[in-house]
């Protein structure tokens, strides 16, 4: 069986998240949005997607509706583990994903793509899925979409040197602590993805972690 770059991206994401997710696993919706962000960031950098997924606007935003299940079945039981679950909240069936224990290949990505996967997982590894959704919903590329609409990556804005980056995050964040996701949160994450310095990544992680803590307290 042959495995292409899309397979390697899925397995790489789960492998990188494995030390952080423990027994709780990764929900399908979380994995799908991470894949979308990898494609989104890769398109911004190169003008093309990293995977061959075709995303549509679905129940919770961008989702590779046609392609995803086939990929998961291909990897299930080897590179990934999929466990069914039912939430007491709504009684609906869900899947939890974990890194597989008997992989048939070791994921390998070329350096720029590997760096994007690293940034995405580093920033969102401790985030709750609602926070990840809020960030994805904030992106210009998905605004105005309705159920069933295809995601057009050509709408991705071209990065320019005149982009306004986040300043004075620490002081501004105090006023935003109790808000779901402020403009400052979103800009901090976008900056960390676009300009992945250690300082930017740590700032984004710290803001998301504190926002998570604030939501739990509220």
Residue 180 lies in a domain: no
Quote the radius of gyration of the chain (alpha carbons, Å).
17
pLDDT of res. 89: 54
CB distance 26 to 11 below 8 Å: no
d(CA 208, CA 127): 7
d(CA 79, CA 11): 6
DSSP 76: B
Q: Which residue has the higher pLDDT, 218 or 186?
A: 186
pLDDT of res. 94: 77
Please state the domain count of the chain: 1
Range of the domain at 28: 5-121+149-154
Q: By percentage, how much of the chain surpasses pLDDT 70?
A: 81
CATH of residue 51's domain is 1.10.10
Q: How confident is the model at residue 178 (pLDDT cuts 50, 70, 90)?
A: very low
Residue 165 pLDDT greater than 70, yes or no: no
**54 SS3 class:** coil
pLDDT of res. 103: 95
- Give me the phi and psi of 9, to 5 degrees please: -65, -45
Residue 89 lies in a domain: yes
d(CA 9, CA 39): 10
Q: How confident is the model at residue 162 (pLDDT cuts 50, 70, 90)?
A: very low
Retrieve residue 10's tokens: 């899925």
Give the pairing type, strands 80-86 and 93-99. Answer: antiparallel
Residue 48 lies in a domain: yes
Q: What's the half-sphere exposure (Cβ side, CA atoms, 13 Å) at 172?
A: 14
Looking up tokens 């306004």 gives: 164
pTM as predicted: 0.77
Which whole number is the average pLDDT over 16-31?
87
Other beta carbons within 10 Å of 78: 15
Which whole number is the average pLDDT over 113-136?
91
Nearest Cα neighbor of 36 from 20, 18, 54, 15 is 54
Q: Which residue has the higher pLDDT, 127 or 172?
A: 127
Query: Which pLDDT tens digit goes with each residue over 73-102?
Result: 999 999 999 988 766 555 666 789 999 999
pLDDT of res. 14: 95
d(CA 196, CA 9): 19
Residue 23 lies in a domain: yes
């Amino acid at each position: 069986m042959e495995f292409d770059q899309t397979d390697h991206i899925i397995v790489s994401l789960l492998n990188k998240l494995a030390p952080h997710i423990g027994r709780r696993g990764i929900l399908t919706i979380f994995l799908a949005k991470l894949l979308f962000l990898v494609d989104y960031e890769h398109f911004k950098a190169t003008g093309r997607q990293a995977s061959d997924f075709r995303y549509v606007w679905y129940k919770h935003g961008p989702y590779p509706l046609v392609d995803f299940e086939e990929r998961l079945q291909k990897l299930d039981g080897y590179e990934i583990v999929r466990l069914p679950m039912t939430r007491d909240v709504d009684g609906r069936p869900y899947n939890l994903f974990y890194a597989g224990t008997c992989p048939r290949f070791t994921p390998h990505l070329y350096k720029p793509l590997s760096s994007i996967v690293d940034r995405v997982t580093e920033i969102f590894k401790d985030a709750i899925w609602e926070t990840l959704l809020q960030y994805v919903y904030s992106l210009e590329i998905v605004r105005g979409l309705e159920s069933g609409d295809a995601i057009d990556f050509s709408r991705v804005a071209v990065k320019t040197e005149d982009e306004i980056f986040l300043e004075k995050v620490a002081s501004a964040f105090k006023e935003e602590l109790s808000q779901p996701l402020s403009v400052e949160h979103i800009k901090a994450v976008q900056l960390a993805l676009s300009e992945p310095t250690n300082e930017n990544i740590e700032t984004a992680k710290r803001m998301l972690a504190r926002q998570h803590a604030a939501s739990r307290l509220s």
